[in-house]
Structure 1
């Protein structure tokens, strides 16, 4: 393992930052404390410009290299936590009820800060590194918020790179899936307006629970009877809400869930069939059904050439034997995809010793990943912005 010297010497500092962020998680668009710490650290590290308040809590820093060139490389990390109560029992566990860094964004933020420290001290590159600390990745539209406020108009990038921890039990293993790598996603809410009654006289009702139950079954036929088995698509009902008493047939019911896809046409097909099923069951049962569908994530597509470049930079740190470009696509989603739709780049995963899955209340990020991820990001910037003669 070839951790960059400045980052290696800063390991204790990075772990302290990480533990502090972990103990004080903040949900998307409320990362006020996190953003303040990020901005303070960037200024202390000598970053040339620090801009705050982008999409409420986003932070952008600029570091100019020795060469003074015009090319610009973006490095991005997410900052938000999840609405989960932590059960790890760590000494630095969350002190905020109902919030936890169960996806490791505290680690991502720390790694980019470590890269920033190295790059600001050495400046062994020709051009500008754009450090992007993004809020609200967890389905709340943080990337789209930053883009809507002119992220790349204010801070243009020629290429951009992101990173995620992978609790694989394989520390130092870096992998990329070239091309479509992570699924796009739409979220949906189905609101059923029926007619309530006394539970002893259900014939006087138009029972929304019966309709909801029918919809759960019918929606599963979208994949089995409409989508080709050669296409990847997932439709999941994840919430059912209705009723408040044992002896009342309720007026309303709500279903919520998600569609995951790799092809826009497949997503459109699933959405169309869902609307047709809602309209048909509304007519059949004599109720009103309103479908609220909204796209939340685009398909994340890694540029093949830049993926190779990313792995070459990673190999400088973890060794060529520990990088791979054959990671299969995953049906999870990541809003870095929105940035990659505008600026070419790549997104890698870095393995660590932890094995508890992401988004689990017992998830623990192995702190050993911090200098590894920081070094890979820093090397990526240096490789893509080489000084003359290097």
Structure 2
């Protein structure tokens, strides 16, 4: 069966009620399988990776394949308490599809239902991916070897909903769509002491203040101003009481960059600055950098040109050229391993992504299915 718009909306609303956190998407997984099992099975091969049990791989066998085209959707949710007031609000306490992954999954099911009835020319691989919001699910999938044999794509595509675009609009750009992100943790260790006798202590607050100011120069003086990078230090903890010199300070923040090369350059400069502060203040400065799988989403130039050309020339699609965003997405790791394209699907809402009031316009679902379906068919002819 090909899922109708009404059926897709019903599926989306059910998914919205059962959000689950990274690597715990068991109810979501079972519901997705129940829908997939209702589809025509003639061309389908389903695999559940034992090493990543909430993931689902569905291969649609092509009639005359010359490639395997991958399509990825993420399936996890966020630790957000929903405040939409919808009749189909989350039934799971303090968990919500506040990033719109319920929309992502529903579009993927709509595409899968179409190609289950209309055999594609090329092989199509649908990857229902756990743990996008945390735990680097894309990286885990790759490193666990779940893309193997016929389940290994030659190219990969995926969308992300965008409340700032009209419902059903497609947004994309050549180059980076999402920034890569790296978590920054810094521990500055000195010596505590009485506030009246600073000569007998080693004040980590003073050293950390200098460190924080020097870190701010990395972007302004070490990175090409034509490019974009961000270092934000959002949390600083030190001390216990006003008249005791702090012997330890903890600084936490994040790095954002539009290319992996830029992120690595920022990492190197951050190490240099930390080493310099350690020597200058005779302290131990421990730097921890954790990027995981949240690499920049760098679209393949040639495939992106084909994608944009199709969307621009399709009179049924409203195509919008979009600027890069500094938000993170773990599809970037997969695009570093397989050529492909990530793009926006407009869902037209006043609330932003990750908001407790995010309410995507459900008209975007079928419009998204039709736009992506048309591109995939076109891609198989080229």
TM-score (norm 2): 0.88
| SS of equivalent residue, structure 2 residue 110 | helix
Count how many residue pairs are aligned between Structure 1 and Structure 2: 377
Match of 1:181 in 2: 177
- Cα distance in 2 for partners of 1:304, 1:90 equals 41
Match of 1:57 in 2: 54
Question: Counterparts of 1:85-100 in structure 2 under 5 Å?
Answer: 85-100=81-96
- Cα distance in 2 for partners of 1:12, 1:222 equals 52
Match of 1:38 in 2: 32
TM-aligned CA deviation for residue 68 of structure 1 = 4.2
- Cα distance in 2 for partners of 1:310, 1:213 equals 48
Uncovered stretches (5+) of structure 2, i.e. residues with no partner: none
Match of 1:275 in 2: 271
Alignment match of 1:288 (pick from 259, 265, 284): 284
Match of 1:230 in 2: 226
Uncovered stretches (5+) of structure 1, i.e. residues with no partner: none
- Cα distance in 2 for partners of 1:108, 1:249 equals 51
Structure 1 residues 246-293: Cα deviation after superposition (integer angstroms, max 9, x where no partner): 676554322122222234443333222211221222233333210011
CA contact 2:56–2:128 (8 Å) conserved in 1: yes
- Cα distance in 2 for partners of 1:116, 1:306 equals 21
Task: State the superposition RMSD in angstroms.
Answer: 2.7
Match of 2:129 in 1: 134
> Structure 1's 93 and 215: CA in aligned 2 closer, same or farther, altered over 3 A?
farther
Question: Counterparts of 1:173-322 in structure 2 under 5 Å?
Answer: 173-197=169-193, 205-243=201-239, 250-296=246-292, 297-311=294-308, 314=311, 319-320=316-317, 322=318
Match of 2:18 in 1: 24
| SS of equivalent residue, structure 1 residue 240 | strand
- Cα distance in 1 for partners of 2:326, 2:208 equals 26
> Structure 1's 384 and 264: CA in aligned 2 closer, same or farther, altered over 3 A?
closer
Question: Counterparts of 1:158-177 in structure 2 under 5 Å?
Answer: 158-177=154-173
TM-aligned CA deviation for residue 62 of structure 1 = 1.2
> Structure 1's 318 and 255: CA in aligned 2 closer, same or farther, altered over 3 A?
farther
TM-score (norm 1): 0.87
CA contact 1:79–1:136 (8 Å) conserved in 2: yes
Q: Is 2:326 the counterpart of 1:335?
A: no
- Cα distance in 2 for partners of 1:208, 1:309 equals 54
